[in-house]
Amino acid sequence: MHLIRTLALTGCFLASPAAPLLTPVPAVAADAVVADAQLPFQFDRNVMVPMKDGVRLATHVYRPRGEGRYPVILLRTPYGKPDQNWGEIKRYLPAGYALVAQDCRGRGQSEGTWNPFFLDREDGLETQAWLGKQPWCNGDIGTSGGSYGGWTQWASAPGATPHLKCMVPVVPFAEVYEDIAYPGGAFQLALLLGWGASVAGVNLPPDKLAEAYRHLPLSTLGDQFERKIGYLNDWATHPTPDEYWQRRGIGPTHAAVTVPVLNIGGWYDIFSKTTLDLTDRVREGSTNRAMRRNQTVVMGPWAHGVGARKVGELDFGDEAVAPIGDWQFNWFEFWLKGRDTKVENWPAYRLFVMGENRWRNEHEWPLERTRFTPLYLRSGGRANSLRGDGALTFDLPPAEGTDTFVYDGDRPVPTLGGNNLVGAAAGPMDQTSVEQRDDVLVYTTEPLTQPVEVTGPVKAILFAASSAPDTDFTAKLVDVHPDGRAFNLCDGIQRARWRNSRTQPEPLTPGKVERFEIDLWVTSNLFQPGHRLRVEISSSNFPRFDRNANSGKPHGTDTELLEATQTVRHGGAFASHLLLPIIPR
């Protein structure tokens, strides 16, 4: 995976295996405060901020020299605090800000036990309160950070202290269960194992990581290393949104978010859907009506590193290179300094339309003018692979049809591009190699004669049966170029046992047709004339998601993988289809 760019005030993102996973932390005693008199600014290292339970969090303070009270920009990160060479110092300190960077509990020089996502809300709130009392703080705080640093912001946003005035989360998330651990009810293996091991200090080369992904049973996922990682086992043994996960998310508290937020994300980011959902939910529900209008989201064609022009195998042109540092600075200048940088006039949703490669301003999500349009699957009974006869049509096929394939967990469909961070490349990748497989059903439209824009949430409605009591179904939306290259836009998965409820598993009756609704998350793409729309249907996407053992046993207990024969019905009473958010032009 490509090295993730560190942009203005985003801190360290979830890092790639190709890059150091932790920023080195200066070897300073945890209880020492060191001010470097040689620097042109005041730099207090490792100020130990006390939490109510007695744990102290190591915190760097960067501020102008001399007397003065300043608004503070706070970064809370598990990846190691930036030192005195942090590039953002040159931008913000001369502009009259103090910067504060803090190691999360159990990370860097902070005390306590590292337990990802746990107590970040409490620690963030207590840090806000501590900052507001400092003689060099004027009482106003803005927050910044990317990925986990986006989570630390959102974790402490509902019911924040009066000191919090604004936020700029980059590629954020807020519900660990749904956004990270179990989208569609399937265990997001590559991210959880790859990232979870690395932040525990277990750094695996690619071949060892690939081997670790195949470990069974999942309930002992964290026991396979010399240094055991208990929270990996916890994640794999809590497949429902129980109390464990409720302590690791903000839940239904969007009404209590009463500060302006600039969310920045990408269509190919691992948190693409939640970046939009967070903005949407606060705009709908915040108790502060003025702040409803000051929730803004920017979605580019990016993966987890935002601002790039080339993502995956596609170049999105000059417009994709975004001045994110300027956006953040203008946001802070307005909300912390009262300077008229016009951010109140920014659109609620600034979206990059891929295929056209242009930015567009919108006022709601999904777009009010959306025409949710079914695109139906059909075939003559052999949609397997590119060599098959699968087709997509806007007209409902009158005759019923059937396609079958065998899902073998020992030979899963490989993850090729998409919303990844660890374990596979991210972004748009040519899918034709995957589409050669007989366990991938491929359905394609005729070449378009008019442009078709798809912007919004995408779903697949599948009528299918399995020979197994539990299995998975996957779906992927693809843009087929005139030269035959087929680039993925968005995809999703649905674990059968959770098709109707995330808390009450329901086994399948082998051979019985059931309705599956697969959430493919979100995208914005203009299918140009001559292009074709395509959907791939299968039962695995590995290692992004764990392999379903098809046994129906409790999650995480399987030690062997069984085959399943899958039957997809379409046409007539079993009208399997994509539900596309088509935007009139």
Active-site residue list: 147, 269, 304
What is the length of the chain?
A: 585
189 neighbors 544 (Cβ within 8 angstroms): yes
* Per-position DSSP letters for 550-584, written without gaps between them: SS-PPTT--SS--EEEEEEEESTTS--EEEEEEE-
Which helix (H) or strand (E) is 207 found in, with range?
helix 206-213
Which residues lie across from 353 on neighbouring strands? 358
Q: Which residues contact 582 (CB under 8 A, 6 or more apart)?
A: 370, 371, 372, 373, 452, 453, 454
| Number of C-beta neighbours around residue 510 at 10 A | 13
Q: Which residues contact 235 (CB under 8 A, 6 or more apart)?
A: 181, 187, 192, 196, 221
C-alpha closest to that of 568 among 367, 359, 337, 406: 406
Distance CA 478, CA 486 (A): 6
Distance CA 492, CA 361 (A): 27
316 neighbors 299 (Cβ within 8 angstroms): no
CA torsion, points 486, 488, 494, 496, in degrees to nearest 10?
20
Q: Which residues contact 571 (CB under 8 A, 6 or more apart)?
A: 376, 377, 378, 396, 397, 398, 399, 400, 401
Distance CA 159, CA 411 (A): 48
C-alpha closest to that of 538 among 571, 494, 573: 494
Distance CA 456, CA 523 (A): 6
Distance CA 92, CA 333 (A): 10
474 neighbors 576 (Cβ within 8 angstroms): no
431 neighbors 536 (Cβ within 8 angstroms): yes
Structure tokens at 102: 């803090």
Structure tokens at 351: 């979206």
266 neighbors 299 (Cβ within 8 angstroms): yes
C-alpha closest to that of 496 among 463, 456, 452: 463
Distance CA 430, CA 448 (A): 19
Residue 448: helix, strand or coil by DSSP? coil
Structure tokens at 466: 């399995």
Terminal-to-terminal C-alpha distance of the chain: 36
